[in-house]
Amino acid sequence: MYRYDQFDAAFVAARVEQFRDQVGRRLTGELTEEQFRPHRLMNGLYLQLHAYMLRVAVPYGTLNSNQLRKLAEIARKYDRGYGHFTTRQNLQYNWPKLQDTPDILAELASVEMHAIQTSGNCIRNVTADHFAGAAADEIADPRPYCEILRQWSSQHPEFSFLPRKFKIAVNGGPHDRAAIQAHDIGLQVVRDARGDLGFAVYVGGGLGRSPFVAKKIRDFLPERDLMRYVDAILRVYNLEGRRDNKYKARIKILVHEKGEAAFRDAVEAEYAANAQSALSLQEADIAAIRAFFTPPPLEPRETTSARIERRRAKDAKFDAFMRANVVAHKISGYAVLTVSLKPIGAIPGDASADQMDAVADLAEDYSQDELRVSHEQNLILPHVALDDIPVVYDRLASVGLATPNAGQISDIIACPGLDYCALATARSIPVAQRIAERFGDGARARDIGPLKIKISGCINACGHHHVGHIGILGLERAGEETYQITLGGSGDETASIGQITGPGFSSERVVEAIDTIVETYRAQRADASEQFLQTFRRVGMAPFKEALYERSAGSDI
């Protein structure tokens, strides 16, 4: 993984001391809250419902064991013993004290981490697919490109005060695991006819109150032009993006209002005008960054493991874990393991300090000291030898993290919602918990198959509900929580925005409504192999609407 050089270390250390000074001046009153707020936000510190909240960047979702242990240590020492992994591969602490945050940032800096640009109208943490550097189907590791973008965008003077926040995602495999079409810029790693690496470039995706699937504005961008082209997009946006209305300030609105063709022309013109730009990447530059992501030296092993097969034959739960949470690695005899942070009835994305320590130990012992955080709020052990999976599974089970539900109906994305968030209009977590409890991780969940439920507690859509196969949006109506349901959304390479079923459901009725939708799918599917999204796309909304509003008692809102 990337290691800080002297410049990085000095830069992050300087930011810590700068923030220490700013916090000191705020506490003495030299800075007013209005003056201080932009500074704290640029360092990831929000004020939420119960307390401050610190959002720590996990660049492109990659961690080593020491870093995860440090996150656990901070949770114990400065917070309340846990952290929350977010849909942008970050970690949030829910109870830090303002007066402690400079020390927390200094602790993070000691393991090459920070909270810079995790808030504010700047380029945020660049995210990547969570199987980066490990998946069997990978075209190229997306993380070197993310790191190049991170270095370029950190405290970029031209792009630190954009019209609105800006999110970039890079996906390295043929299947989009990074939801790139829901981002301001989505970069899909591809190879051209000659086998050269480059990117398909998507722009203007986003969720929130105006959801859009990104437009593909380039089929192939040569690798060397990554920064130059992204710079061109940012320059067009910075100049033409709306600053008169916060709700129309994201690049998706500019692309929509200007039109895809005109926007593409403007970007291409800016790109061409800067043909001699110093931003053109040299082969040596790319190679130097790529060297930090050299795959671990894994000796190919037997493609099957007798140890696994013996265990599977006698342990149904382990068998279920193998089916749901284990995917193929690029080196034979190894696998990529998903550690579900969605135990049935637990809070999606939350991990206790003890759980973090346990997973860090597992990464050190069995996964080449590497971890990933997924945007689906799970952790990944990317390089586990097949023969080691039973022992890894047992150790995960001992800390309650062996739930065999990755990709299933109970592997739900949920934002913090009204239990924590100052912007929320309704709670998300209790709905996720009740749905998970309804369907579980057993035979019924396996029969339902891959199904992504995503829940947001307000229209800002941090829970990505628009791209959930089933999306749930929590709203407040006349003082009561109400939940609007969308169907048919998808955040993968076939990205689509979900359609609203109709009137919303009360908190009491929403789980029953989800059950009705699931049973309608099971009745409608061509056979057991047809997944929810496929069935929805084939049969459309009508049977679901009928089941929800005509056959049953209907919406109660």
Shortest separation between residue 119's beta carbon and other proteins, angstroms: 15
Look at residues 57, 251, 63, 250 and name the one whose alpha carbon lies nearest to residue 154.
57
Angle at 535 between CA 533 and CA 536, to 5 degrees: 65
Shortest separation between residue 414's beta carbon and other proteins, angstroms: 10
Cβ-based nearer residue to other proteins, 96 or 144:
96
Q: Does 29 bind other proteins (CB under 8 A)?
A: yes
Residues 527, 511: Cα–Cα separation, whole Å? 25
Residues 266, 324: Cα–Cα separation, whole Å? 45
Q: Does 26 bind other proteins (CB under 8 A)?
A: yes
State the first-to-last Cα distance of the chain, in angstroms, to the nearest integer.
51
Both tokens of residue 427?
């709670």
Q: Does 21 bind other proteins (CB under 8 A)?
A: no
Measured CA to CA in angstroms, residue 363 lies from 71, 80, 334, 368, 502 at distances of: 15, 24, 14, 6, 45
Q: Does 33 bind other proteins (CB under 8 A)?
A: yes
Shortest separation between residue 417's beta carbon and other proteins, angstroms: 9
Residues 95, 98: Cα–Cα separation, whole Å? 9
Cβ-based nearer residue to other proteins, 27 or 443:
27
Q: Which of 418, 445, 448, 467 binds other proteins (CB under 8 A)?
A: 418
Cβ-based nearer residue to other proteins, 9 or 47:
47
* One character per residue 217-256, x = contact with other proteins (rule: CB under 8 A): ----------------------------------------
Q: Does 51 bind other proteins (CB under 8 A)?
A: yes
User: Which residues within the stretch 467-496 sit at the binding site for other proteins (CB under 8 A)?
Assistant: 476, 479, 481
* One character per residue 92-111, x = contact with other proteins (rule: CB under 8 A): ---xxxxx------------
Shortest separation between residue 36's beta carbon and other proteins, angstroms: 9
Ranges of H-type helices in 179-275: 226-240, 251-258, 260-273
Q: In angstroms, how far is CA 10 from the centroid of its own chain?
A: 29
Q: Does 52 bind other proteins (CB under 8 A)?
A: yes
Sign of CA dihedral 428, 431, 437, 441: negative
Q: Which of 268, 387, 419, 530 binds other proteins (CB under 8 A)?
A: 419
**H/E stretch holding 379:** strand 379-385
Cβ-based nearer residue to other proteins, 31 or 251:
31
Residues 489, 480: Cα–Cα separation, whole Å? 26
Shortest separation between residue 57's beta carbon and other proteins, angstroms: 21
Residue 95 CA neighbour count, 13 Å, CB half: 11
Q: Does 28 bind other proteins (CB under 8 A)?
A: yes
Q: Which residues bind other proteins (CB under 8 A)?
A: 26-29, 33, 47-52, 80, 95-99, 347, 418-420, 424, 427, 429-430, 433, 476, 479, 481, 507
